[in-house]
Structure 1
Amino acid sequence: MIEAVLAGLPLSYPDAVVVVGTAVVGFVAGILGPLAVLRRRSMFGDAMSHGTLAGVAVAFLATGAKVPEVLLLGATASAALAAFAMIALERVGRLRPDAAIGVVLSVSLSLGIVLITHIAASGNSSQAGLTNYLLGQTAGMSERDIVVALVLGAVGLVVVTVGFRLLRSAAFDPGFTSVAGVPTWVVDAVGTGLLALAVVLGVRTVGAILMVALLVAPVVAARQVTKRLSALVPLSGALGAACGALGGVLSGRAELPAGPVIVLLATGVALLSVVFAPRRGVLARIRRGRTERAT
């Protein structure tokens, strides 16, 4: 089926793979981004994305080969460790959330850069391209990458759909989950796991440094249009997919890295929405203020 979709696009095969792959990653980031933004955990996801770099390096050192699935597993493990470290620093170390995020983000990114530099100096020819995980790399995407993204994205979508009410209450009314008999830590663990899934999927495309922007920007844009979470999630996913696909096309035409181009597009859409949204935009609020003063 994927082959049929790729063949049906008016693009060369490599460009079609990039466009479909970035669209899938953008969609997954868009539908899972509200879990971070609405719970004020955007920087939590940023620290997790920075933590993936060390996991990629450790996975390569352990296997000596650049196997995408193995590197993805390493990135997942390190993102989870970063999440647990932040939670531990908050609850056990009694640090403020921003301090815990700052510590984990800086330490994990520094460790990742040190390990990547060590690998680059080792003379192992297989390490070529590992540094691209900083800013992303789409040129090497394959149909297998799309399949992995689709499968993991489907898992995330199913979890969000099944647990939508609990995730919504955790975002807007955290006390409801405990009243409903569901431990708060379970909801936190599920939300953190879904956020880790989005981060890991996007690291290869957008990069560890820029992934948080792809999680946040589509949500910001969609938030200006609707207040309902049931509409916000699919709209944010659609915007993420559109920015991913368009960014993939433009980056290929201009011979620019896809990650920064996708992030710039998503950020531009968010800014336009903040300014021009019909009800909540800056211009709309200015017009309402003038009307109220006139009356």
Structure 2
Amino acid sequence: MNWLITSLPLPYPEAVVAVGAAAIGLVAGALGPLAVLRGRSMFGDAMSHGTLPGVVLGFVVAGTKHLPLMLLGAGLTAALAALAVIGLERCAGSRPDVAIGVVLSAAFTTGIVLLTALASSGNAGQSGLADYLFGQPAGMVERDVLLTAVVGACALLAVTACFRVLRTAAFDPGFAAVAGVPRWAVEAASTVLLAVAIVLGVRTVGAVLMVALLVAPAVAARQLTTRLGGLVTLSALVGGTSGAAGAVLAGRAELPAGPVIVLLATSVAVLAVLFAPRRGVLARVRRPVAAAESRSSAPGEAGAPPREASGAR
């Protein structure tokens, strides 16, 4: 990892942040389609907001800002938020949007209350925990980047190993059920992978904005390809590029990195929606116009000169 950081034409602190943000964006971009294709984007939002109580509880247990323990706490509370949403949907019969809204609000307010109580306790070590709301990667060190790379690589390997199952469940859930693929297993695997992406990115992008880094690269890639393999690859590239470029731009302009990264990824998604060659808005507008022009210029159609009558003398 050190060779990659030192090879960049950037000062060492900026290079660390850029590589770390790129790794997080790449992982989030690759795993985001798991939520987008299954219509569960807001499910990821509930999980990302659910990480905030875990971050605070991890700090309380460790007594200091110990990143692995705080991320473990974030992962546990994100999983609890996911289970709460699923429980409200299936056991209480709530609609998905209602279940997500209830869990998101409850989890986020719990995190805010814990943050406020910790700030009032006089514990000087809690300074900077509020940065997990909107992200602050400036304090990232090489060890944090290595942790992100290792955990992210494990998640990507899991996606590669289960790719055919995930593809079938995403595009043809009926066939997946007939083939004997348990729905609960696909749900569990997708939820765990989403939790990994969210937990890795919550420090850089923040609990509030993390869902955008999952969704925006997938939306951009969806306009450019119809194959799941290409979608995952393009989405990862958009996420990784947005992470690296956003971190560098934010550092140079002295702006918060999380919002800048999200703005770049969202801008790419908007451009793809507008200008994609086949599925973009402009392409769809031009298609009927071109078809109408071709019909009007075809021989024998309306607008063509009439043929001479034959056989009449």
Settle same-fold status: TM greater than 0.5: yes
- Deviations along 1:85-131, one digit per CA (max 9) or x if unpaired, are 00000111110011000000000000000000111111001101100
How far did residue 60 of structure 1 move? 1.5
How far did residue 182 of structure 1 move? 2.2
1:145 maps to what in 2?
144
- Deviations along 1:123-145, one digit per CA (max 9) or x if unpaired, are 00110110000000111001111
How far did residue 6 of structure 1 move? 1.0
Correspondences of 1:166-177 after superposition (within 5 Å): 166-177=165-176
| AA aligned opposite 1:137 | Q
1:121 maps to what in 2?
120
| AA aligned opposite 2:144 | D
Number of residue pairs the alignment of both structures matches = 294
Whether 1:95 and 2:99 are equivalent positions in the alignment is no
Partners of 2:187 and 2:175 lie apart in 1 by: 13
Partners of 1:285 and 1:177 lie apart in 2 by: 33
- Deviations along 1:54-88, one digit per CA (max 9) or x if unpaired, are 11111122232110011000000000000000000
2:154 maps to what in 1?
155
1:278 maps to what in 2?
277
Partners of 2:113 and 2:23 lie apart in 1 by: 31
Secondary structure of the structure 2 residue equivalent to 1:273: helix
Correspondences of 1:56-71 after superposition (within 5 Å): 56-71=55-70
Secondary structure of the structure 1 residue equivalent to 2:139: coil
Whether 1:232 and 2:244 are equivalent positions in the alignment is no
Partners of 2:56 and 2:92 lie apart in 1 by: 28
Partners of 1:251 and 1:289 lie apart in 2 by: 42
2:242 maps to what in 1?
243
1:218 maps to what in 2?
217
1:13 maps to what in 2?
12
| AA aligned opposite 1:18 | V
Relative contact order, higher structure (CA 8 A, sep 6+): 1
| AA aligned opposite 2:240 | A
How far did residue 180 of structure 1 move? 1.9
Secondary structure of the structure 2 residue equivalent to 1:205: coil
- Deviations along 1:257-282, one digit per CA (max 9) or x if unpaired, are 10000000000000001001111111
Deviates more, 1:140-149 or 1:256-265: 140-149
Secondary structure of the structure 1 residue equivalent to 2:137: coil
Partners of 2:24 and 2:105 lie apart in 1 by: 25
- Deviations along 1:146-203, one digit per CA (max 9) or x if unpaired, are 1111111111111111111111111111122222222110111000000010010110
With normalisation by structure 2, the TM-score equals 0.93
2:3 maps to what in 1?
4
| AA aligned opposite 1:80 | A
Secondary structure of the structure 2 residue equivalent to 1:207: coil
| AA aligned opposite 1:144 | R
| AA aligned opposite 1:249 | V
Partners of 1:170 and 1:109 lie apart in 2 by: 31
| AA aligned opposite 2:265 | A
With normalisation by structure 1, the TM-score equals 0.98
| AA aligned opposite 2:95 | R
Partners of 2:203 and 2:96 lie apart in 1 by: 27
| AA aligned opposite 2:263 | L
Partners of 2:139 and 2:165 lie apart in 1 by: 38
Partners of 2:9 and 2:229 lie apart in 1 by: 33
Whether 1:194 and 2:193 are equivalent positions in the alignment is yes
2:133 maps to what in 1?
134
- Deviations along 1:197-253, one digit per CA (max 9) or x if unpaired, are 001011000000000000000011011110110111011001100000000110000
| AA aligned opposite 1:43 | M
Secondary structure of the structure 2 residue equivalent to 1:204: coil
| AA aligned opposite 2:28 | A
Partners of 1:187 and 1:291 lie apart in 2 by: 43
Partners of 1:7 and 1:62 lie apart in 2 by: 35
1:72 maps to what in 2?
71
Whether 1:205 and 2:204 are equivalent positions in the alignment is yes
Partners of 1:197 and 1:176 lie apart in 2 by: 28
